[in-house]
Amino acid sequence: MDDTLERVQKYCSLQLHLYGQCIDSNPTDWNIKCVNERKELTKCAEDNNPKLLQVKKHCNQFIQMYKFCVDHHNNEKCQDQLDKVLQCHEQYSIMNSQ
């Protein structure tokens, strides 16, 4: 996961910054108002990290559950779903590093 985050920070720093600014400016409804910024960050991350696309395919079920939670609840209520996404990513990384 660290490698993925490093690549996103390196290649998508502008999109990451704009998304963060949007979230900060819209603390109560950022999940609605920052959709375009989230899409731009996602596209940049996928374009600059082919491994991310593979992980997204492998962990799609958990990612969709997390997205649903974020879209319908306060982000703080979605920690369990986020943990499952991160666990899936870690398991995928371990399986593919051998």
Q: In the prediction, which pLDDT does 77 show?
A: 86
Q: In the prediction, which pLDDT does 1 show?
A: 54
- 8 Å CB contact between 81 and 69: yes
Report which of 69, 61, 68, 67 is spatially closest to residue 87, judged by C-alpha positions: 61
Task: Express each pLDDT in 10-62 by its tens digit.
Answer: 999 999 999 999 999 999 888 889 999 999 998 999 898 888 888 889 999 99
Q: Is the pLDDT of residue 97 over 90?
A: no
Is pTM, for the whole model, over 0.85? no
Maximum CA extent, the chain: 43
Question: What is the Cα–Cα distance from 83 to 22, expressed in whole angstroms?
Answer: 24
Question: What is the Cα–Cα distance from 25 to 12, expressed in whole angstroms?
Answer: 20
